[in-house]
């Protein structure tokens, strides 16, 4: 057991209490951010004359050395310490003696952990954004190739009206685009530095909080020290945005699973992204899509868990907040894994265009267009609806599609039908007539694809300055 406190205690901490309390097994994940925060802090202490410039330099170069050693694997983060903060400080003191003991001047673990977690999650927001961008590229590639691949559009999982594969994919493009916008939003809202909030009431040292904020690429310092140490809104927002990503991925997965079934055969998942059965040799299972769908619950769970943890916490820091870490780490790791795998699965998946088109033809997806034909020839819509209903029933009995009937049969149902009905209800016409922006018609789709390409040609992350190289040089 190694801890930073103990002066006012007369007894050793009980072993079980120690283990229950310790967080090193998971907060070691942000060792890099902890060390970077300490470097920024100590540089500022030097500039402010709170430590001498020489002391500040000595401490920051020792921490840089430790960071390098941890990354190279020569310095192991020992679980003997209570948390990552204690570990870093202890090693520093071991190496520098009394000078090392000055690192924590004007700082509390409360603002330290608030900073570490923010730095860590801020980076994860960027990574999630990049993965979403990769997924959008994969979706767009399918769209570009399939503006004339007809397929049934569904409502209630019943064939409704014909669309194209490009159009269907375009719906997911919009969803993942909004998910990316949420990442950008969260990034900017969370980008304020809590360091310098102290335990809760700031400090009596003349800290320059603008300086530490700038060193770490924050837009500025947080403006209330009690909020600075106890705000976890940004995590809740992040988990909520991650849950939404999973909800979208899960819907998409559900479709892939249905489309990959023997009954549909709209897609074939690449061998590299499917698995077999130990007993049934014919099986090729969509496990990746199923796992993505399954893991959605786990990410929602993290959101519910943190919302519940936070709801009863009085200001300011309380130890309950330590619970924010494992679940957030698990959620982001899960989402990143799902995004990467789903993108791989999508970009290697084969779309069985013929099956999709045949399915669109044989499900009366052109029934609305047949009714519209009658309306255009003077039949009131409600009557047209009834006539085409009868027509569909007739076709079901004969087991044929509307376009398979001859004009005589059509005329028996309504004399209004003429030769041009066949063109009016052809798949091409049904889709191509839908030309307003957002509709599946090819021209409309091409306009949308051009807009989406324009959107993808600009990456908001490019405007983020590289603070890390500067801090560590």
Nearer to ligand ARG, 110 or 215 (CB): 110
Determine which residue in the list 139, 166, 239, 321 makes contact with ligand ARG, applying CB under 6 A.
321
The rounded distance, in Å, linking the Cα atoms of 327 and 96 is 36
**Is the peptide bond prior to 316 cis by the omega test (within 30 degrees of 0)?**
yes
CB neighbours of 108 closer than 8 A, spacing ≥ 6?
197, 198, 199, 200, 229
Smallest gap from Cβ 159 to ligand ARG, in A, equals 53
Give the β-pairing of 158-164 and 192-193.
Answer: unpaired
Nearer to ligand ARG, 58 or 83 (CB): 83
In degrees, to the nearest 5, what angle opens at C-alpha 185 toward C-alphas 183 and 186? Answer: 65
Q: Is 116 in the site for ligand ARG (CB under 6 A)?
A: no
Smallest gap from Cβ 329 to ligand ARG, in A, equals 12
Number of residues that bind ligand ARG (CB under 6 A): 10
Smallest gap from Cβ 98 to ligand ARG, in A, equals 24
CB neighbours of residue 20 within 10 Å: 9
Structure tokens at 8: 């006012």
Determine which residue in the list 36, 55, 83, 231 makes contact with ligand ARG, applying CB under 6 A.
83
Smallest gap from Cβ 75 to ligand ARG, in A, equals 21
Q: Which residues pair with 151 in a beta bridge?
A: 163
Nearer to ligand ARG, 328 or 366 (CB): 328
Tell me how far apart the terminal alpha carbons of the chain are, to the nearest angstrom: 34
Q: Is 322 in the site for ligand ARG (CB under 6 A)?
A: yes
Q: Is 109 in the site for ligand ARG (CB under 6 A)?
A: yes
With contacts defined by CB under 6 A, name the span among 187-195, 259-267, 314-322, 416-424 that binds ligand ARG: 314-322
Select which of 156, 278, 457, 458 is catalytic.
156
Smallest gap from Cβ 29 to ligand ARG, in A, equals 11
Determine which residue in the list 40, 92, 103, 113 makes contact with ligand ARG, applying CB under 6 A.
113
Helix (H) and strand (E) counts for the chain?
20, 6
Binding mask 18-47 toward ligand ARG (x if CB under 6 A, else -) reads -----x---x--------------------
Nearest to 298 by CA among 253, 346, 257, 332: 332
The rounded distance, in Å, linking the Cα atoms of 248 and 335 is 11
Q: Is 235 in the site for ligand ARG (CB under 6 A)?
A: no
CA dihedral 39, 44, 49, 53 (to 10 degrees): 40
With contacts defined by CB under 6 A, name the span among 105-113, 290-298, 387-395, 431-439 that binds ligand ARG: 105-113
The rounded distance, in Å, linking the Cα atoms of 308 and 435 is 48
With contacts defined by CB under 6 A, name the span among 45-53, 262-270, 289-297, 313-321 that binds ligand ARG: 313-321
Q: Which residues pair with 155 in a beta bridge?
A: 158
Active site residue 277: yes
Smallest gap from Cβ 23 to ligand ARG, in A, equals 4
CA atoms within 13 A on the CB side of 429: 15
The rounded distance, in Å, linking the Cα atoms of 249 and 365 is 27
Smallest gap from Cβ 109 to ligand ARG, in A, equals 4
Are the C-beta atoms of residues 147 and 444 closer than 8 Å to each other?
Answer: no
Nearer to ligand ARG, 109 or 295 (CB): 109
With contacts defined by CB under 6 A, name the span among 157-165, 202-210, 316-324, 409-417 that binds ligand ARG: 316-324
Are the C-beta atoms of residues 128 and 339 closer than 8 Å to each other?
Answer: yes
Catalytic residues: 156, 277
Binding site for ligand ARG (CB under 6 A): 23, 27, 83, 109-110, 113, 317, 319, 321-322
């Amino acid at each position: 057991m190694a801890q930073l406190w103990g002066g006012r205690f007369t007894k050793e901490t009980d072993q079980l209490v120690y283990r229950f309390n310790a967080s090193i097994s998971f907060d070691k994940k942000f060792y890099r951010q902890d060390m970077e925060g300490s470097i920024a802090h100590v540089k500022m202490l030097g500039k402010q004359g709170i430590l001498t410039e020489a002391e500040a330099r000595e401490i920051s170069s020792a921490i840089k050395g430790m960071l390098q050693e941890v990354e190279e694997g020569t310095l192991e983060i020992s679980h003997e310490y209570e948390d990552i903060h204690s570990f870093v400080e202890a090693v520093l003191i071991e190496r520098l003696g009394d000078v090392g003991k000055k690192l924590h001047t004007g700082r509390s673990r409360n603002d330290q952990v608030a900073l570490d977690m923010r730095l860590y999650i801020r980076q994860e927001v960027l990574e999630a954004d990049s993965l979403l961008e990769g997924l959008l590229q994969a979706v767009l590639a399918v769209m570009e190739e399939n503006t004339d691949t007809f397929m049934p559009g569904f409502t209630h999982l019943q064939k409704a009206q014909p669309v194209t594969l490009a159009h269907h994919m375009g719906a997911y493009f919009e969803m993942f685009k909004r998910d990316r916008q949420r990442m950008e939003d969260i990034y900017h809202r969370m980008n304020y530095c809590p360091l310098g909030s102290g335990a809760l009431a700031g400090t009596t040292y003349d800290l320059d909080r603008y300086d530490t904020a700038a060193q770490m690429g924050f837009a500025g310092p947080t403006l209330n020290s009690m909020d600075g140490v106890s705000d976890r809104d940004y995590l809740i927002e992040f988990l909520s945005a991650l849950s939404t990503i999973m909800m979208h991925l899960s819907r998409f997965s559900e479709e892939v699973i249905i489309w990959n079934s023997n009954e549909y055969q709209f897609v074939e998942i690449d061998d590299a992204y499917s698995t077999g059965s130990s007993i049934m040799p014919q099986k090729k299972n969509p496990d990746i899509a199923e796992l993505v769908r399954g893991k959605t619950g786990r990410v929602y769970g993290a959101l519910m868990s943190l919302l519940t943890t936070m709801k009863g916490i009085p200001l300011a820091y309380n130890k309950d907040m330590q619970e924010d870490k494992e679940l957030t780490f698990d959620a982001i790791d899960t989402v990143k894994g799902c995004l990467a795998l789903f993108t791989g699965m999508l970009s290697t998946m084969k779309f069985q265009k013929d099956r999709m088109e045949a399915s669109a033809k044989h499900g009366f997806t052109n029934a609305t267009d047949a009714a519209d034909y009658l309306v255009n020839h003077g039949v009131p819509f409600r009557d047209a609806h009834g006539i085409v209903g009868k027509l569909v029933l007739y076709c079901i009995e004969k087991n044929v599609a509307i376009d398979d009937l001859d004009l005589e049969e059509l005329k028996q149902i309504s004399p209004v039908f003429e030769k041009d009905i066949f063109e009016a209800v052809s798949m091409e016409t049904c889709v191509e007539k839908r030309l307003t922006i957002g509709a599946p018609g090819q021209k409309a789709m091409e306009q949308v694809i051009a807009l989406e390409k324009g959107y993808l040609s600009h990456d908001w992350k490019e405007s983020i300055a590289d603070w890390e190289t500067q801090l560590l040089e």
